A = this chain, B = another copy of it.
């Protein structure tokens, strides 16, 4: 007996090409198959796919077209290239540093052989500890000391290697909070946090506004207010998540603020997570200090302090997907190391990085050259914008300027900001991040990344911005 297959049912509704084969096939069990095929045809004829979980449904049903998504798509569809597509959209919306890729290329071409080929295969192929090989943790601890100017000193046993900082943030949210609990995030802050905490861990984020009138400095009274409001609504606040250096502002948190923050989390008996992925990107004169240093030297309870770091920013290796959790809490470490089975990094990549990070001369040269190149681009960008009367916040870290364009808005509101963003995207053809995407409460601020282009592109970008300022 042969069962005729209703071919139409295989064509899925989302543009998936499917190779159809074996249209007719022998049935192994005649009687049951006849019965089955009747049920089947009836059920298959429904065009909607089988129902998924509520948490999965919430992921796509509430999705709206955010400026981030729209801008990103425009850049993919029509990417600027000075020679091949000079009228394309310039991507200034991603904090990715392409300015020092030549140094990485040089290192890889000279050293891959030694790190991988000459390595024993038993050091690459079999199972390894999910939370990272000891050699990488040791190399990373030394590297972090070098990058953070010895503001931090870590033991490898206090580290968990993750698949990028994103996975580190998610893991900490699983460890520190339960579904429905919340964390406070001094803002403006990168929108990625909302996704990283909410999507699977189910943890809510509460942005705590830092205002332009205060130079975007964090005030403890705002934290108190947000904490108390959450408490009133029956929401448990479990941690403060801090970005230092800040993204999108590019400023550094000073020791005094860290003191106050540590006092705050101690008093509330909650945690402090310091995301320090932009350490090593500071290009100004301000000193970067890790929260680990302050907590340590000032005698705070370090079991409530956790640091996130990674190589996507400092070494501009986002494709390598390397993040790290540094924690001083044995329960977090124990749990996080177990969770590492879900995001374990491939060993060949770890081995490659052990070699790269242990090459102290390369690291020193890389950071020095990178800082000079970033600073040069930053200064050129700030000067360029000043021509049009556009001012930047005095940043000293990060791959972006934090730009006040409020004088170009038609109305002093989020609507006005998004109108201006739309003009920048569609008239100037540059993709930037509006402050509202970063929970900034003052309209008119934009994050503009400058490390995705070269020095020669700056006049072109300025010319594009002029298209709008001229009309004003």
Which residues does A use to contact B, with CB under 8 Å? 3, 5-6, 9-10, 12-19, 21-23, 25, 27-29, 32-33, 36-37, 39-41, 43-44, 46, 49-57, 59-60, 94, 96, 98, 101-102, 104-105, 108-109, 112-113, 116-117, 121-122, 124-128, 153, 155, 157-158, 163-164, 166-167, 170, 174-179, 181, 195-196, 199-201, 238, 254-256, 259-260, 263, 266-267, 269-271, 293, 296-304, 316-322, 328-335, 338-339, 341-349, 352
Contacts and interface: CB of A to CB of B under 8 A. Distances in A.
Given A50-B271, A51-B269, 10 more contacts: A3-B298, A5-B298, A33-B298, A36-B263, A50-B304, A56-B332, A60-B331, A102-B121, A163-B346, A346-B346
B49 A338 contact: no
Contacts of A174: 53, 55-56, 200
Contacts of A319: 124-128, 346-348
Given A105-B121, A121-B105, A349-B348, A52 B300 contact: no
A49 B125 contact: no
A17 B157 contact: yes
A315 to B, nearest CB: 9
A162 to B, nearest CB: 9
Contacts of A352: 348
Nearest to A331: B52
A209 to B, nearest CB: 23
Contact of A40 (B16, B200, B266): B266
Contact of A49 (B122, B177, B331): B331
Contacts of A128: 319
A376 B300 CA distance: 61
A2 to B, nearest CB: 10
Contact of A321 (B167, B298, B346): B346
B343 A342 contact: yes
A63 B181 CA distance: 25
Contacts of A15: 157
B59 A334 contact: yes
A6 B338 contact: no
A292 to B, nearest CB: 11
